[in-house]
């Protein structure tokens, strides 16, 4: 079988590359060993957002009385939450399959191995082998959860962040190892469901890569909801029995619980796929090395998504996939990582794009900060979500927006406006002269922009003395 492009991996990197290839009338084959959609659809973004919504419903019912809703909360049915998640995932996976079919992409189920710069060997579940030849190859094999010594994952008592979405009985005591993105999202959701949650983080704070004020705000809210955050602790081991698990910490403390989720990061899927044998260079951390056209060290072989490890985000994979597919078809596209927004789905949500204040300080870049608190947003108060703030950073001389960190309700939605502002090289002045709908959460961006000039309307500023 000969194609223009063969893609290995059907996650948001691989399947998007496939659809774009079809749209451009290329003959494309996509090889996927499991289910289309990869981590994002099956074990990551989508399952977690479905759970996130369940957590939101629980909190709405529980807080209902203040909003005039009289309802009795009778408890949480994790099995029903998982069933709903499965429906959402099934529908999206079906949609991806239809889109690939509709764009003329051949989907092969099996293990793909790069056997030459222009050939992928596919072993189907029944053991039969097919050699797929193509002018170009796109590698999009993704990543899987990391594990740590002393915490043997058994899929039952000790689970990975891939497996946690299949638990159907709610653990009354849940230990989450790792206070990063996934650890904090799970802590929010499972504490809302009713689990007593303990987060064990090795570093001195949760969400350690975020702005300090952001991680402090999330920590405060999680703790107020009953989550125990233990920072600066390391797990020494775990003993699993019928009654549960006892997690032991370095220093001798034991923590009995029902279940443990290991959320300590992800590692790339580069073993057993023939990359190195075919001459594809990996960097010192094991990621596939690519240039800004997403081409690996082997001409005609491209790589996208977690496997190149720029940022392990579905939307980054998607963007890389479009660049790679266009280049594989003879166009000239470059990947630009200068403006990458992301969000963390705790409550309140966290979202960020561009520079962080700490980086600007370290790099000696002159900058201005505009801040605004969600407690002064009419919409946030109506939503019963006064926690959080926005910190908007702009260049001290050129005035260009350099980045923002937001923690607050709908942060994941409003970060798009700042992302566009950055792409357009806009300044807080441009935002200030743009009318925003009232009352909306997006007004916090307007107010933060005004605050850059000391002119936020709904914030008490320093008043200049009149002479």
Is 190 a binding residue for ligand NAD by CB under 6 A? The answer is no
Residue from 18, 37, 112, 183 touching ligand NAD (CB under 6 A): that is: 183
Residue from 19, 137, 177, 308 touching ligand NAD (CB under 6 A): that is: 177
Judge whether 324 and 300 are in contact, CB under 8 Å. no
Chain residue whose CB lies nearest ligand NAD? 180
| Residue 199, strand partner residues | 176, 229
Judge whether 303 and 140 are in contact, CB under 8 Å. yes
**Which residues 333-362 are close enough to bind ligand NAD by CB under 6 A?**
342-345
What per-residue string of b and e applies to 152-170 under the rule 16 or more CB within 10 Å gives b? ebeeebbbbbbbbbebeeb
Residue from 9, 21, 47, 178 touching ligand NAD (CB under 6 A): that is: 178
Per the residue annotation, which of 188, 326, 395, 438 is the catalytic one? 438
**Which residues 26-55 are close enough to bind ligand NAD by CB under 6 A?**
none
- From 29-37, 174-182, 357-365, 427-435, span contacting ligand NAD (CB under 6 A): 174-182
Integer Cα distance of 225 and 197 in angstroms: 10
Residue from 116, 119, 202, 420 touching ligand NAD (CB under 6 A): that is: 202
Residue from 55, 58, 78, 181 touching ligand NAD (CB under 6 A): that is: 181
Query: CA 293 → CA 70, 171, 184, 280, 323, distances in Å?
Result: 57, 46, 34, 15, 7
If the CB atoms of residues 181 and 245 are measured against ligand NAD, the closer one turns out to be: 181
Size of the site for ligand NAD (CB under 6 A): 26
Q: Cβ 186 to ligand NAD, closest distance in Å? A: 9
Give yes or no: 436 in active site.
Answer: no
Integer Cα distance of 160 and 158 in angstroms: 7
Integer Cα distance of 295 and 136 in angstroms: 10
Q: Write the DSSP string, 270-336.
A: -TTSSTTTTT--B-TTSPBP--TTSB-SSTTEEE-GGGG-S---HHHHHHHHHHHHHHHTT------
Radius of gyration for the alpha carbons in the chain, expressed in angstroms and rounded: 24
If the CB atoms of residues 121 and 248 are measured against ligand NAD, the closer one turns out to be: 248
- From 15-23, 51-59, 176-184, 324-332, span contacting ligand NAD (CB under 6 A): 176-184
Angle (CA) 321-325-331 rounded to 5° is 130
Is 198 a binding residue for ligand NAD by CB under 6 A? The answer is no
**Which residues 227-256 are close enough to bind ligand NAD by CB under 6 A?**
234-235
Q: Given the rule CB under 6 A, which residues bind ligand NAD?
A: 148, 161, 177-183, 200-203, 208, 234-235, 263-266, 312-313, 342-345
Supply the residues annotated as catalytic.
438
């Amino acid at each position: 079988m000969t194609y223009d492009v063969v893609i290995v991996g059907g996650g948001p990197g691989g399947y998007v590359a496939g659809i774009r290839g079809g749209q451009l009338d290329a003959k494309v084959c996509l090889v996927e060993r499991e289910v289309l959609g990869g981590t994002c659809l099956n074990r990551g973004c989508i399952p977690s957002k479905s759970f996130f919504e369940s957590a939101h419903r629980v909190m709405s019912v529980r807080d209902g009385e203040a909003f005039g809703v009289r309802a009795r909360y009778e408890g949480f049915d994790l099995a029903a939450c998982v069933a709903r998640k499965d429906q959402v995932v099934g529908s999206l996976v079906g949609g991806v399959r239809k889109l690939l079919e509709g764009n003329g992409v051949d989907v092969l189920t099996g293990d793909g191995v790069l056997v030459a710069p222009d050939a992928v060997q596919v072993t189907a579940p029944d053991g039969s082998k097919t050699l797929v030849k193509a002018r170009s190859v796109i590698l999009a094999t993704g990543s899987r959860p990391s594990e740590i010594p002393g915490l043997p994952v058994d899929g039952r008592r000790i689970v990975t962040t891939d497996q946690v979405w299949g638990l159907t009985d709610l653990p009354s005591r849940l230990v989450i190892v790792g206070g990063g993105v996934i650890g904090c999202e799970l802590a929010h959701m499972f504490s809302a469901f009713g689990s007593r949650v303990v987060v064990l983080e090795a570093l001195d704070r949760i969400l350690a890569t975020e702005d300090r004020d952001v991680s402090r705000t999330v920590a405060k809210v999680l703790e107020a909801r009953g989550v125990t955050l233990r920072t600066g602790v390391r797990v020494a081991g775990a003993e699993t029995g019928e009654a549960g698990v006892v997690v032991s910490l370095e220093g001798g403390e034991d923590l009995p619980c029902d279940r443990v989720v290991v959320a300590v990061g992800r590692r790339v899927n580069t073993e057993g796929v023939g990359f190195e044998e075919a001459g594809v260079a990996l960097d010192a951390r094991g990621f596939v090395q690519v240039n800004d056209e997403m081409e690996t060290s082997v001409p005609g072989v491209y790589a996208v998504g977690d496997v190149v490890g720029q940022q392990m985000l579905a939307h980054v994979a998607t963007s890389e996939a479009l660049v790679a597919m266009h280049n594989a078809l003879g166009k000239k596209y470059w990947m630009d990582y200068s403006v990458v927004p992301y969000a963390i789905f705790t409550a309140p949500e966290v979202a960020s794009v561009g520079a962080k204040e700490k980086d600007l300080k370290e790099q000696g870049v002159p900058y201005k900060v505009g801040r605004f608190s969600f407690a002064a947003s009419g919409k946030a108060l109506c939503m019963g979500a006064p926690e959080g703030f926005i910190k908007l950073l702009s260049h001290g001389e050129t005035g260009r927006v350099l980045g923002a960190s937001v923690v607050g309700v709908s942060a994941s939605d409003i970060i798009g406006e700042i992302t566009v502002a950055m792409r357009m090289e806009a300044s807080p002045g441009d935002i200030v002269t743009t009318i925003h709908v009232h009352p909306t959460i997006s007004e916090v961006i307007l107010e933060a922009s005004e605050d850059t000039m000391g002119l936020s309307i709904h914030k008490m500023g320093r008043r200049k003395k009149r002479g």
